[in-house]
Structure 1
């Protein structure tokens, strides 16, 4: 922890604070025009973005980063078009600022509860450069200034992306300082950023467990904890096994490098000998490494023996831990001990078992007969998200536009006193 803040960071904080004051009163039409301009700018600067991304990919490969991390860095023409489309989707979302309830008290006081921006939001995130655009868009639409600090692995991509969308937003009338990227990559500057409570209202870390824990331990600013996803699937003895194979396979392999992918599979003992060969063969063909308990390796010989630390590991890769459990009670106990309160799913056709799972699991998203990969703001119908909150205050689950605001009470009187 440090008490000295680099003057370059102070300047960023001052600009963000000044911009937030103006953004709080920006109209919906003005914000939407800026977002549309940002979307068009991404397409206009496609080649420049791809050139910068190629530098990041080359550097990552030279460092020997595993393929799943390199894939998270990769931008393509289709990905850039997807980011542009996502900005247009945010344009079409309702403005979360304003509105609210109105009521009159017996003494004649008229009270309005409306929604206002949080102010200045700092995003500290790893790897995926699309977060630069997503975070900026959601902050702008909700009337917040944002300070972005991405991982050093994506620094070239993030610099160009931030410049492109920032310049487009300013040309469209948004204040300077609305969108800023911290280009200082040394960890010391991240620690300094977390001390800037004079300028920043909230920090949202988005990445692995190490990043999130560091922010929680070092920040003087309120933190919304997001991201760490040690997600479980429990295959109950009354599951449709064909359906279970598809759900488990999708949860693990559709995009293994994200927080809502499956990390641990729990299989009820009564159906383990029938189910494990089915999912084991599917995983084998796809290149997924299985780290299993003693019973798992006894049934599926290609599984390697899991170590104790595997049950608490978020792999973010084509690796999965598998445990055979006696019953639903043991599955619930295992998830209680190792889960990160992100996303959990049960595959069963038994109503009572499903309801127990839904009621007793403490997580942001709990599923019956569906993939954990659905824990996503877009798939929930929110249009976009800034992250998946795994805490209970002030938001939980996919955080979209409403979660980037707070409330304000406006009271109209005509001389009332207590």
Structure 2
């Protein structure tokens, strides 16, 4: 049992009689089913997992109308509950978005699996040293109410030859269930793999997520994404239990307008950076070089207004890096502040935000390079929108999320290539 303390008592046990709380029992059962299916996924012959992904893509296309109808019911309930427009945008599926999910599955299936073993060196005594990549076994995921993430994460975990235990936000539970039961399970069976390799925790509220990060014996790695507050809480719970939590939390893109920026580039980058407001890599903080603050700010303001977005101008009653995408009902805002050149802009972006991504809009290459060399965040761009910090756009692969850790490990868009374990193999002399 885990050592997590929950509202029901210690380690998921009901404090009244010492029995395991129902939420923990349900998650543990799902994790046990995934663990039982994991060996078949690991041992699947080359191409079988890709066959399952292609079958899932075909099912999404064939059953699109039914999937959209089920998702519409989720959206309707969310609207009645007063869900903010940005969150509704994340929840909503469309024909175009379903087609995008199917295409990404096919792209992932067509991506060759990386080598599982490669030579490193031969010791002076003749032994040969190899490095091997092996599956984790079972990987959990806790994520926001975004139906597409159910497929994104499940497909990445399967491609990494592990089984998945998924827990989504309650608002997307119908849609996620449909994608698992109508798409993923039949596709796995069609490829000759156990459907139990993908499990969905059908529990609303936080108890399911708390339980999932508290089962290191069954689910040693859990990907957690969502608001910073939630991911930090789950990271602490996971660390207490001994679970490795790979968190994808705070976001918010930064755009710095340099004195050398042209008005046309400012308009283009601002417009491209706010095409969606409920995503983590959208424009969140606009920094303007002080000498051109009065001349370029009106250009940026006009571009934002055309997209229905307002500026939060100095003096600010909120932190400079306040993430508007997570501010329910106020998503249509961008914070603006003056800075003193590219060095100050890069430092401000790194200090005041999560360090997700920052763009410099500049015609001067030397200035752009100074900004690039100075910024320490996950992604840095020159005359390109921070919206490109996305697994599919940047790497041609779906992602489990974007990691902004400031320590060694997978950073930026996390794909199946990051979801394996390193193992060393030493063989006798040839």
Where do 5+ consecutive residues of structure 1 fail to align? Answer: 295-305
Which residue matches 1:402?
417
The answer to whether the 8 Å contact 1:354/1:368 transfers is yes
Residue 310 of structure 1 deviates from its aligned partner by 5.0
- Per-residue Cα deviation, 1:74-129 (whole angstroms, up to 9, x for no partner): 11223222212211111101113614235322212122212122221111000210
Q: 1:362 aligns with which of 358, 361, 376?
A: 376
Q: Residues of 2 paired with 1:350 and 1:242: CA distance?
A: 15
Q: Residues of 1 paired with 2:266 and 2:276: CA distance?
A: 18
- Per-residue Cα deviation, 1:158-203 (whole angstroms, up to 9, x for no partner): 1111112123212321124211100011212211111111101211
Q: Residues of 2 paired with 1:281 and 1:353: CA distance?
A: 25
The answer to whether the 8 Å contact 1:100/1:115 transfers is no
Which residue matches 2:385?
371
Which residue matches 2:261?
239
Which residue matches 2:103?
85
The answer to whether the 8 Å contact 2:78/2:88 transfers is yes
Q: Is 1:307 matched up with 2:337?
A: no
Structure 1 runs of 4+ off > 6 angstroms? Answer: none
Which residue matches 1:105?
123
- CA separation of 1:329 and 1:91: change in aligned 2, threshold 3 A: closer
Which residue matches 1:203?
222
The answer to whether the 8 Å contact 1:42/1:84 transfers is yes
SS for the counterpart of 1:196 is coil
SS for the counterpart of 2:50 is helix
Q: Residues of 2 paired with 1:206 and 1:146: CA distance?
A: 15
Moved more, 312-321 or 182-191: 312-321
SS for the counterpart of 1:37 is helix
Which residue matches 1:303?
none
Which residue matches 2:16?
none
The answer to whether the 8 Å contact 2:252/2:283 transfers is yes
The answer to whether the 8 Å contact 1:99/1:115 transfers is yes
The answer to whether the 8 Å contact 2:251/2:323 transfers is no
User: How do residues 265-414 of structure 1 correspond to structure 2 at under 5 angstroms?
Assistant: 265-294=286-315, 306-315=316-325, 317-391=331-405, 392-413=407-428
- Per-residue Cα deviation, 1:279-329 (whole angstroms, up to 9, x for no partner): 1122223211110015xxxxxxxxxxx313353334352210011223334
Q: 1:143 aligns with which of 151, 157, 161?
A: 161
- CA separation of 1:78 and 1:355: change in aligned 2, threshold 3 A: closer
The answer to whether the 8 Å contact 2:285/2:321 transfers is yes
- Per-residue Cα deviation, 1:228-279 (whole angstroms, up to 9, x for no partner): 212211111122232122112211x211211111100000111112111111
SS for the counterpart of 1:363 is coil
Q: Residues of 2 paired with 1:73 and 1:84: CA distance?
A: 17
SS for the counterpart of 1:24 is helix
SS for the counterpart of 1:198 is coil
Q: Residues of 2 paired with 1:227 and 1:375: CA distance?
A: 14
- CA separation of 1:381 and 1:336: change in aligned 2, threshold 3 A: closer
- CA separation of 1:313 and 1:35: change in aligned 2, threshold 3 A: closer
Q: Residues of 2 paired with 1:323 and 1:67: CA distance?
A: 26
- CA separation of 1:402 and 1:127: change in aligned 2, threshold 3 A: same
Where do 5+ consecutive residues of structure 2 fail to align? Answer: 13-19
The answer to whether the 8 Å contact 1:376/1:385 transfers is yes
Which residue matches 1:300?
none
Q: Residues of 2 paired with 1:108 and 1:407: CA distance?
A: 22
Q: Is 1:218 matched up with 2:237?
A: yes
Moved more, 173-182 or 344-353: 344-353
Q: In angstroms, what is the RMSD of aligned CA positions?
A: 1.9
Q: Residues of 2 paired with 1:401 and 1:412: CA distance?
A: 28
Would you say how many aligned residue pairs link Structure 1 and Structure 2? 403
In the superposition, the TM-score normalised over structure 2's length comes to: 0.89
